[in-house]
Each structure stands twice: as C-alpha cells, then as structure tokens.
Amino acid sequence: MPLVTRVTDLIGRTPLFELATTSTGTRLLLKLEQFNPTGAAKIRMAREMVLDAERRGLLTGGGHIIESTSGNTGLGLAVVAAERGYRFTAVVDHHACKDKLRAMRAMGAELVFVADDGDDTLATSAREDLAEAMAAARPDAYFTEQHNNDANAVGYYAVAEELLEDVERVDILLSSVGTGGSLFGTATRLRQLGCPARVIGVEPVGSIAFGGEGGPYWQSGTGTPPGATIGTAVDYSLLDEGVKVSDIDAFATARAVAAELGLMIGGSAGGSVHAALSRLDEFPPGSTIVTLVCDGGEKYLDTVFDDAWMAERDLLDPAAEAEVQTMLHRYAPAARRAELAEAR
C-alpha cells in the first residue's frame, strides 16, 4: 500500500468475504464496502460526481455542492468537498441515522432539514425538491442529483474491476437498490469486462421500484419510498429480478451476522444477505454470488442494534434471528466450520 496524501486515495480495494457455501459449490461473497473512508460505498460515486462536474465546467474553484442525501452520499461529498475546497450543503431528514448527520457536520457540511425535529419520516421527494430549488436560486451552486446522474453508476465501475481481480467470474450480483448506482454501475462494468452476471435487485417491502404496494420502512439508504420518483440510475434493462425484504428479516440478518461472526453490516446489507441466504440452494451449482455491503453496522448502534429501538417499532424478532443463525451454520464455509468445531 503506497503512502497517500488524500483521504479519497483510500477509496476502493475493499475486501471480499466468503460468508456462505453450499454442498454444490455455490458461494456467497460479500464485498465489504464499509472499508472505504466514511465507512460506505457511496464515497466512490461522490468523488465521481464531483470530478465529472469539474470536467464539464459545472463546478469551479470555491463552488457550492448541494445534494439530497440519506447520509452516506453526504458523507462522501463532505470528504470530497473538504479536499477540493467546495462548500457543501446536505439536504436531509430525520429518518437518516444520527451518526451520519453528526459526521457530515464534523467534516464541515452544512445540514438543511426538510422536517422538524421529531418527525422521522423518510422524505426523499421533499429533500430532492428543496435541493433543486436551493441550487436554482444560487448561481455558484451545483445540485449533484444522484438519482439522475450518470456519474453515480460510473463511480462503481472500479467495484467490478476489483471483483474480477479477486475471483474468476461473478455469476450473480445481488444487492440493494436505492438510487441504483451501485448495483447497475457494477453490473454495467462487469458486462463490459465480459462477465455478464445475473442481476438481482433487493429493496425493502414498502419500496416501489419493483412494483407492489408502497409503505413505510426503516431500512436506511435503500429503496424508493412512495411518492419519490425513480431516477435514471435504476437501469431496468439490466435487472433480471427484483426482490423485496422486510425490515424484520433485514435487521434480523444484520444482528445475526454480527452475533455469529463479529461482522457488523448495515440494515440494507442485512436485506441483501437475507435474500441471498434464503435461496442459496436454488442457484445453479457452483455459482459465485456477490453482494455489496453498502455500509457497516456501526452506524446503526442506536437503531438496528438497539433492542429498545427495535422493540418500540415491533421489529425485534428472535425467531427471525434464529432462522438466520441456522442458515449461517448450515452454509458455513469448511474453514469456519472446522474452527468452530475446534473451539467447542
């Protein structure tokens, strides 16, 4: 690892973790994107959106970046803005996890809330409208508009390149869809590199990108709430299948993975891992399945990993956690199984 002088030089080359294997040689690999600065995948696209705007002359020295964010994009933009001398305003709601908001502030971002304290509704649509209006009113401002920005997906091309450095091929790419940038950007580049993986998108029950009834959900950063527009970064032409995961299953999975393996993954990754584990045996024998872990669990100590917060929202479900634990044992890779047997 060479010495670096910028935080953004630390983006990428995230590890691959083998979570599960079947007797038919199918394996589930997690791309641990929490190893990026800010602890999330989204700094990849934040950097790309800013570099793209600079290349196109839309952002110049001392300019002002504005974005609507559930937190992780804002964290990435805060880093890039600090490094490159921009002012950054994040338009946020109280559905966002508090540590993401606090960390954005720590890195110099200005936060503008679309709702009053105590209103923790997910307000994607209101956030986007306000960000757009604010940018239109300020001549030096640029709205990065992650949902409709091609640079979002391009920011993840390196994920595909890194994957193919680590494994021969990816048969199935299964991951959560918010803006769609991470899943479809990775899938696009895999295809360009001659590895056309089957693409399975995951969204929370209540999210509307894959049809069905809309409603509230607690999974953070992922999904499209009712009333929000689905942006161009959701590339339906690449999507083979869209599946939905409940908050209970997503959070039970994040908690079980933490308790069983000491690996903290966020709630959206919990949803993807649940979707993958529960149908691992249905995939063709010998498949390599990759899930992007968009962020780590440390950001959710006050929510997903807080029993009181979970219980207040009827999300605590020991039976669901036990079910995930059973799957983790059943599919434990041989090396982990041997270690466990030795420890017992």
Positions that interact with ligand PLP (CB under 6 A): 40, 42, 70, 72-73, 176-183, 220-222, 266, 268, 294-295
Cα 200 to Cα 210: distance, rounded to the nearest angstrom: 11
- Of 12 and 63, the one with the shorter C-beta distance to ligand PLP is 12
31 is catalytic: no
CA atoms within 13 A on the CB side of 59: 25
- Of 31 and 42, the one with the shorter C-beta distance to ligand PLP is 42
- Of 178 and 225, the one with the shorter C-beta distance to ligand PLP is 178
CA atoms within 13 A on the CB side of 334: 4
For residue 172, give the 3-state DSSP assignment.
strand
* Angstrom distances, CA of residue 196 to CA of 16, 157, 192, 238, 311: 19, 14, 8, 10, 42
Nearest 10 degrees: Cα torsion 105, 107, 108, 111: -30
Contact 40, 156 (CB under 8 A): no
- Of 235 and 323, the one with the shorter C-beta distance to ligand PLP is 235
Closest contact distance (angstroms) between CB of 90 and ligand PLP is 12
* Both structure tokens of 296: 């780590």
Closest contact distance (angstroms) between CB of 61 and ligand PLP is 28
Q: Which residues contact 51 (CB under 8 A, 6 or more apart)?
A: 151
Closest contact distance (angstroms) between CB of 221 and ligand PLP is 2
Strand partners, 89: 66, 110
Closest contact distance (angstroms) between CB of 81 and ligand PLP is 17
C-alpha closest to that of 225 among 213, 242, 237: 213
- CA 274 from chain centre, in angstroms, equals 15
Closest contact distance (angstroms) between CB of 20 and ligand PLP is 20
- Of 171 and 203, the one with the shorter C-beta distance to ligand PLP is 203
Residues annotated catalytic, as ranges: 42
